[in-house]
A and B are shown apart, each in its own frame.
Chain A
Amino acid sequence: MSDLKVDESFSQALRAELVSRVNKTASARPRKAARWWLGAGVFAGAVVLGGVGATAAGLLNIPGAPIVTPLGTPTTESHTGPATIDLGTAPKEAKAIRLEMTCLTTGSWAYESGATSTCKQHDLEGRGATTRFQLPVAPGKETTTINTQAQSQWRLTWTFVDVESTDWATNANGETYGAENENGQPELVAVKATNGQFGYVRKAELDDATGVSMMQTFRTPEEALAWQAERQGKSYAIPVYDPDGTTVVGEFIVQDGNGHIVETDGNGHVLEPDMLASEIPQ
């Protein structure tokens, strides 16, 4: 029975019909009314993430952030429409592949992990045009497929990397601190404060401010929408500390309706929040 597969042409036609139905409702009424976040963090500031995010920010000294070393030179290919990319054979010591998808036209892109990104006209000028993500190296897996509209143009650059994970540190009070990574969040989560300082927010305070604990309890869109409506426009400031968890070095603002949706790829890696900002309906 596990060999049973849907007829591919039937499936593709059905998929196209479903996608078009969903898109049609988007143009029919304002998108904002239907937005709700469930199980997705909502941040106005950027939480410093393990993986690509921390590396890109040059924050290798944050405990828990992996040390990523590029192996060899990047490869770049340009495509129009959907494509399956031959990534080549990974060097022996490679643990992951870092990819950067840059959109050259407007459109939507869907990745194998289920994550998607969208480029609008104004993204093409700024850094919203680049989506960074990371794939694990798996034996025999040398391709990745990116789906998009037939006329969408894009460029993919990838590099094999070695990834060495690091552990969170513990302060004098016995609290763990560091970057969010595949083990989750430590008690003090690395963030960038509004004043540009890097520091740590208390996970409990962050969860209260983002409503993560509340969101776990929603079972229907109505509940989530009501909760969201109540919070709409409000912002919540929480202190940013030194690793000691006591000295305040700045503040971190959590604001609804103005946040980033934090997504993970299929392997528990968190995609950078700022690259997803471009898809939030304004």
Chain B
Amino acid sequence: MGNMGSQDAGLWARSLAGDGAAFGALFDRHRDRVFRHAYRLCGNRHTSEDILATAFLELWKKRRKVVLVEHSILPWLLVTTTNVARNTNRASTRYRRMLDSLPRQDEAQVDSGEATYFQSVLDQDVVDALKTLGSIDLHLISLVVFEEYSVNAAAELLNLSPAAAKSRMHRARSKIKDVLQPKPAPPSQFVMEGNGS
């Protein structure tokens, strides 16, 4: 990750200087992780596309305020992605017309084919569990657990002391475990129906 990050600085500097190709390269580098993170938070493909687009549009709009962590823009993007996902309607409104103009696979195609396996029952559980976290805890979990940044790097971006970040992490982990664990047995007929015969 260090390698990747150190390269962002050069591309980011050139993007700020108005080099579209450099910004395009940053998009290529980070779009899949941003998209997966958005999907993790909302569990819906089209909404994830909206969030992905909004995060990158915000990256450019707020470029003067972007903070690099370990010379990478990814942590900032992930935090913005989380914010956008939590607030989908309002944040995406700004770009609604642009988002609607982008080409999409139609829903039927997505539902009938390749995309159906993306959404497992486990994914939905995680989506639900993440919804129980406060914003800062969700940012922390996103950066540290999913994207493997150090607690210190995440703390820096979120303006927390390392100690505060550590204790928040601990609480957030326990909270997620609590939400994920003590479920009554899943309705077995669901599985039966899925199998058909």
Q: Which residue of B lies closest to A38 (CB)?
A: B9
Interface residue B40 (Cβ < 8 Å from any Cβ of A): yes
Within 8 A of A (CB), among B96-121: 98, 101-105, 117-118
A140 within 8 A of B: no
Stretch from A21-29, A50-58, A64-72, A85-93 forming part of the interface with B: A21-29
Does B181 interact with chain A (Cβ within 8 Å)?
no
- The reply to whether B104 and A19 form a contact with Cβ atoms under 8 Å apart is no
Asked if A221 is at the interface (CB within 8 A of a chain B CB), the reply is yes
Measured between beta carbons, the chain A residues less than 8 angstroms from B147 are: none
Q: Which residue of B lies closest to A41 (CB)?
A: B10
Q: Does A110 contact B (CB under 8 A)?
A: yes
- B21→A19 contact, CB < 8 A: yes
- A interface residue numbers (CB < 8 A to B): 1-7, 9-11, 13-15, 17-23, 25-27, 31, 34-40, 108-110, 114-116, 118, 147, 219-222, 261, 263-264, 266, 268, 279, 281
Question: Please, which residues of chain B bring their CB within 8 A of the CB of A11?
Answer: 31
Please indicate which of the listed interface residues A25, A109, A281 has the most CB atoms of chain B within 10 Å of its own CB. A25
- Cα-based distance from A139 to B27 in the complex (angstroms): 27
The reply on B67 being an interface residue by CB < 8 A is: yes
Max count, chain A CB within 10 A of own CB: residue among B7, B21, B29: B21
- Using CB atoms and an 8 Å cutoff, list the residues of chain B in contact with chain A: 3, 6-7, 9-29, 31-32, 35-36, 39-40, 45, 49, 52-53, 56-57, 60, 63-68, 71, 98, 101-105, 117-118, 123
Chain B residues near A116 (CB-CB < 8 A): 11, 14, 19, 21-22, 25
Would A18 and B56 be within 8 Å (CB), given that A1-B118, A10-B49, A116-B22 are in contact? yes
Distance to closest chain A CB from B33 (angstroms) = 11
Residue from A23, A27, A110, A261 within 8 A of B25 (CB atoms): A110
Min Cβ gap A155→B in Å is 19
> How many A-B contacts at CB < 8 Å in the complex?
148
State A23–B26 Cα separation when bound (angstroms): 14
Interfacial chain B residues near A20, Cβ < 8 Å: 20
Chain B hits for A17, CB < 8 A: 98, 102
Closest to B98 in A: A17
Select A261's contact among B10, B27, B39, beta carbons within 8 Å.
Answer: B10
Give the residues in chain A near B123, CB-CB below 8 Å.
1
- Contact of A6 with B52 in the complex, beta carbons under 8 Å: yes
Min C-beta distance of A134 to chain B, whole Å = 16
User: Whole-angstrom distance between the alpha carbons of A281 and B31 in the complex?
Assistant: 28
Task: Give Cα A100–Cα B25 distance, bound, in whole angstroms.
Answer: 20
A18 touches B63 (CB 8 A): no
Q: Enumerate chain A residues within 8 angstroms of B68, measured Cβ to Cβ.
A: 38, 219
Are B9 and A40 neighbours in the complex by a CB distance under 8 Å?
yes
How far does the alpha carbon of A118 sit from the alpha carbon of B52 in the complex, in Å? 28
Q: Is the CB of B35 within 8 A of A4?
A: yes
Residues from chain A with Cβ under 8 Å of B52 in the complex? 6, 14
> Shortest distance in angstroms between A208's beta carbon and chain B's nearest beta carbon?
19
Docked Cα-Cα span, A181 to B36, in Å, equals: 35
The interface residues of chain B lying within 8 Å CB-to-CB of A40 are 9-10, 13
B71 closest partner in A (C-beta): A39
Given contacts A26-B20, A38-B71, A39-B6, contact A7 B49 (CB under 8 A): yes
The reply to whether A7 and B12 contact each other, CB–CB distance below 8 Å, is no
CA of A5 to CA of B16, assembled, Å: 28
Residue on B with the closest CB to A25?
B18
Please determine whether B16 and A221 come into contact, CB atoms closer than 8 angstroms: yes
Q: Knowing that A10-B105, A13-B101, A15-B24 are A-B contacts, what are 9 other residue pairs whose CB atoms are under 8 Å apart, sorted by A's residue number?
A: A1-B118, A6-B32, A7-B105, A20-B20, A22-B23, A23-B19, A39-B6, A40-B10, A279-B19
Q: In whole angstroms, what is the CA distance A21 to B88 when docked?
A: 22
Inter-chain CA distance A22–B28, complex, in Å, is 15
Provide a sorted-by-A list of 18 A–B residue pairs whose CB atoms are within 8 angstroms: A1-B123, A5-B32, A5-B35, A7-B49, A9-B105, A13-B103, A14-B53, A18-B60, A19-B27, A22-B19, A22-B23, A26-B17, A26-B20, A40-B9, A114-B26, A116-B19, A220-B65, A263-B10
Measured between beta carbons, the chain B residues less than 8 angstroms from A114 are 7, 11, 25-26, 28-29
